[in-house]
Every structure is written in structure tokens, then in C-alpha cells.
Amino acid sequence: MRSTGTRSSLFRSGSILRQASGRLRDQATLTTLSRRGFLAALGGLAATPVFSRSTLAESLIGKEAADGVPLFVSAFKKADGDYGVGILDDLGQVLGEISLPGRGHGVAISPDRTRFVAFARRPGTFAVVVRPFEDAEPQVIAAQSGRHFYGHGSFSADGRLLYAVENDYEAARGVVGVYDASGKTISRIGEIETHGIGPHDLMIDPDGKTLIVANGGIKTHPDMPRKKLNLDTMTPSVVYLDAENGDLLAEHALGTSLHQLSLRHMALDGNGRVWVGGQFEGPQADQPPLVAVLGRDESIRVTDIPDSIAPGLQNYVGSVTANASGEIIATSCPRGGQTLFWKASSGAFLGAEAIIDGCGVAPIDQGSFLISDGNGAVSLVEDPTRPAEILARPPGYSWDNHMFALT
């Protein structure tokens, strides 16, 4: 018999960093760090070593798991109300997890795949740097005073810098926070203007020298965290910025008739073009396009969503992801419970998978996608014309908007 002393985790001190209990391997030693220390770090003590190193400390992911197994990372909410970011294998099993002090959103993965940074969902003010394969404590980055994170970021091509989209909320101005990631810890060294409001997703252009930012266009202020303040005048855009000096190299916007389509999430296809998904802030009865494609020197054009599917999507795309070859683009629509697939070269609609609350999408294998949903399932889509296969449903997890291939 097992001890009956267990309680809901409400009565238990949480741990920050641990190998997941949802284990498909025999139990290993757990690594735990105190939650209090973690929260203290967010109180502005980030510079001090708040994580007391446990003598049991070991890497979050064992070498065995890291060796050759494709890994994925996604933010989650648990049934007990806790937030965190989890590392999953290619069968959807949770191998490790890190608690977060609030809801997470996007994750930036270093080019050498040894580190990742989990960003708070807007208007959160924390980002957590994790080295999952080392015996290393997570580093908490607190947003600079007067800024909050928007939920996305990216490492530079050489991994020495980290870029994070942020809100200069008093000036209602989007910025990219630039962080030095070349040392042991990551620290902010400057910022670049995004030439728009509400920057959301950020990518590095294949040239390695240019930032691509989707300015969602929606003005918000942390005093009214989720309220949209400028829906009548919003002007979303996708901009190309010189990573070196912040110069605006190119700017793409939809016409005035679509100015309420907030351009938010992006992916690069195999030809280096940008696919962007939007959420429409105009009248609910309208049925605008939701997906567009553009290039630096190629004007933006929208795709056609079939009439049989469009009405149910509730005008909302949650994430945009290319498969490994960049030939197929997936756009998830969690409000409509559909994930749409597109042929990158022609923009043709390939099909849709019905996955309720499905949102996180990551590339897996040669051409397939892994899709996570708010009901905990991790599904494999190998062919958009056949039903998705549910690989796993780790109990108690609600997977958040985005999933990324970690290895």
C-alpha cells in the first residue's frame, strides 16, 4: 500500500524543476528547487543566486532521453492551477517540467539546442532560461521597468543574443528587447523599435541578420491587462528590421479593409517566405481571411479558406508552423477546433484536422506535425486527409498556445 499522506498539491510546496511524475520510464531521483526562491527572484532579486543547489541536482532530462529522441517543449496549465513549461518526447510523454509563476506562452530555443527561454504570456514580466541537459538552475529574467513581455522571442543566429518582444506601455510602442546571451547568465543590453504596436511573434530571417516581427497592432496597458484599447485605429504589420541597427527594411500591412486583422503568429516556409496568422477584432459576423503569406520584397497576399470551414473558425488563428521541409504550413484555430494545412509553394488549402482546442503545433519527422491541445492530448498528423492520431494525453495538463521542437 502506498502512503495515504498525499494531498492535493494545494497543500504541498511546489517544485520548480523536476523530472515529470508522468513517467514512462522507471522512477529516477527528483530534482526540486523551492518555489519561494523562485518567486523571490521575480521580486527583483534575479541577480542573486536564489536557487539553492540540491545535492541531488541533476539535469532535467537524462542523457538517455536526450540521445536521439526528438523532444518538444510547451507551456501548460495544470488541473491544480499551476503553470509551467513541459518537455515532451515524440510519443507525447512528459519527460520533465519547470514550474512558472504565471501563464507561459512562447519559447525561444538556442541554435545549439542547449538552452531555451520560456516567456510569460502578455502582460507577464518574467522569462525563464532553462538548460535542460545540464545540472543548471533556471535563470529568471524580469522585464525591465516600464516594459512587459508579449510572449515571444528568439535567439540570434549565432546564439549570442536573445530578442524578446516587449511593450513600452506608457508610450504605447512596441520594442524588441535585446539581451546578451553569450555568458552564463542573460542580461538586457538594449532595445529596438518595432515600428508598430503590440509586437507578438518574432523570427530571425534566414539571412541571419534581419528580424521579422509581427506587430499585432492592438494597444494594451498592464493596468487593464487583457483590454484592447484601439480596435478602431489598429494597424497591424509585419516588419523586417536590421538586427544590427534596428533600421526598418520592409513593412507589410493589409489594406484598410483588413486593418482589424491582428497579425500575430508566423512561420518561415522552405523558400524563406513568411506565413502569418491573424485574429480578427472586427464584427463577429464578418468572415475575413485569416492567413497571409509575404516575402521581404513580395507583397502580402491572403489565402482562401474554404467556405465549408471558414464560418466555424471564429476568426482566430492560434499558431502557425512549418513542417521540417518547409513545404507544408499548419495554422491552428483553437476556437473552431480545426487545424488547417497549406501547401507553401502555391498557397493551396490541403485539408483540416478537427482537434478541439488544438493550438500548439510543432514539426516532427520528415513532414509531419505534432499538435497539442487544451484537453491534454498530443496528436500526430501525418496526412491532413486522415484523422489525427492521439499519441498521449498526460493527465491534468492543458497545453498552451505553442509547442516547439527542442531537438
Q: Catalog residues that contact other proteins under the rule CB under 8 A.
A: 1-2, 4, 6-10, 21-27, 77-81, 91, 105, 121-122, 151, 200, 226, 264, 279, 311-312, 314, 316, 318, 334-335, 337, 356-359, 373-377, 386-387, 389-396, 398-401
Distance of closest approach, residue 3 Cβ to other proteins, in angstroms? 8
Measured between alpha carbons, how far is 70 from 78 in angstroms, rounded to an integer?
Answer: 23
Measured between alpha carbons, how far is 278 from 116 in angstroms, rounded to an integer?
Answer: 26
Given a contact cutoff of 8 angstroms between Cβ atoms, the answer to whether 178 and 188 are in contact is yes
**The one-letter amino acid at 244:** E
3-state helix, strand, coil in the chain (%, to 5): 5, 45, 50
Nearer to other proteins, 366 or 385 (CB): 385
Distance of closest approach, residue 2 Cβ to other proteins, in angstroms? 5
Q: Residue length, the chain?
A: 407
Nearer to other proteins, 22 or 159 (CB): 22
Distance of closest approach, residue 190 Cβ to other proteins, in angstroms? 26
Nearer to other proteins, 10 or 56 (CB): 10
Distance of closest approach, residue 369 Cβ to other proteins, in angstroms? 16
Distance of closest approach, residue 12 Cβ to other proteins, in angstroms? 9
Exposure pattern of 197-234 as b/e (b: 16+ CB <10 Å)?
bbbbbbbbbeeeebbbbbbbbbbbeeeeeeeeeeeeeb
Distance of closest approach, residue 315 Cβ to other proteins, in angstroms? 10
Nearer to other proteins, 328 or 392 (CB): 392
Nearer to other proteins, 72 or 240 (CB): 72
Measured between alpha carbons, how far is 325 from 367 in angstroms, rounded to an integer?
Answer: 7
Given a contact cutoff of 8 angstroms between Cβ atoms, the answer to whether 254 and 237 are in contact is no
Measured between alpha carbons, how far is 208 from 203 in angstroms, rounded to an integer?
Answer: 10
Nearer to other proteins, 245 or 385 (CB): 385
Torsion of CA 83, 91, 118, 275, to 10 degrees: -120
